[in-house]
């Protein structure tokens, strides 16, 4: 059994590595070690996460996917959560979360089949519950944010996020030079959504230039 630690942050300004110490301590206290680390900056609402699926490809049956909190693994919709659970089940990967004590037994080899099945069932139920709570928390926060912005707009106070003009100009130059989005994200910390917006802006500018030239 290998322990594979997964750390995720939603935005580049967050520190995905923050949980490393707590995860290392958890496995060390159980006489184990982390075999490999997987770190990425992606929203927990997205199922398409390269590092998470690299972990699943690397995993052997019985391996542990170790996370600090269930919301690091999922803020997914119910449908996407079910898809991820199918992937986990197909690969026989056990999910262990520091904020889910019922999952801690998954790092131990349980020889009694009944006990193993019982803990597996309880853990699956608790994972479902915490995944649903994480999704609800995300949805509620987005709703409150939208309501706050709507009130601010109605009062004439909302100005939106200030654009980082210098950074975005640099991203535009990198795109024009043919540098990959992955490299741009690693260099600037910009999200793929931001890069897509700038790429669209560049295309529109080029289209306007061609129209003017015609």
pTM: 0.66
Enter the DSSP assignment of 5: E
Confidence of residue 129 (pLDDT cuts 50, 70, 90): confident
Q: Name the band, by pLDDT with cuts 50, 70 and 90, for residue 111.
A: low
Adjacent-strand bridge partners of 95: 65
CA torsion sign for 61, 63, 68, 72 is negative
Q: Are 23 and 66 in contact (CB under 8 A)?
A: yes
pLDDT digit string (tens) for 19-73? Answer: 899 999 999 998 999 999 999 988 889 999 999 999 999 999 989 999 999 989 9
Distance CA 95, CA 11 (A): 24
CA atoms within 13 A on the CB side of 91: 20
Top-confidence range, 63-67, 117-121, 185-189: 63-67
Residue 178 falls in which region: left (phi positive, over 0), alpha (psi -120 to 50) or beta? left
Nearest-angstrom CA–CA distance, 72 and 16: 9
Closest C-alpha to 1, from 39, 38, 30, 25: 30
Give the CA radius of gyration of the chain: 21
């Amino acid at each position: 059994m290998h322990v594979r630690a997964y750390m995720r942050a939603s935005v580049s300004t967050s520190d995905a590595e923050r949980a490393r110490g707590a995860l290392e301590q958890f496995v060390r206290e159980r006489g184990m070690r982390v075999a490999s680390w997987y770190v990425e900056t992606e929203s927990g609402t997205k199922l398409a996460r390269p590092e998470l699926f690299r972990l699943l490809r690397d995993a052997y049956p019985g391996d542990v996917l170790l996370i600090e909190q269930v919301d690091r693994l999922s803020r997914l919709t119910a449908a996407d959560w079910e898809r991820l659970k199918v992937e986990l089940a197909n690969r026989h990967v056990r999910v262990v979360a520091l904020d889910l004590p019922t999952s801690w037994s998954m790092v131990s080899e349980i020889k009694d089949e009944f006990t193993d099945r019982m803990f597996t069932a309880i853990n699956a139920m608790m994972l479902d519950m915490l995944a649903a709570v994480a999704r609800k928390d995300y949805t509620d926060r987005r709703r409150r944010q939208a309501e706050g912005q709507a009130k601010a707009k109605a009062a004439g106070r909302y100005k939106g996020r200030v654009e980082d003009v210098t950074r975005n100009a640099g991203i535009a130059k990198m795109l024009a030079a043919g540098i990959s989005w992955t490299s741009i994200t690693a260099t600037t910390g910009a999200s793929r959504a931001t890069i897509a917006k700038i790429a669209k802006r560049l295309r529109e500018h080029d289209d306007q230039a061609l129209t003017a030239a015609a």
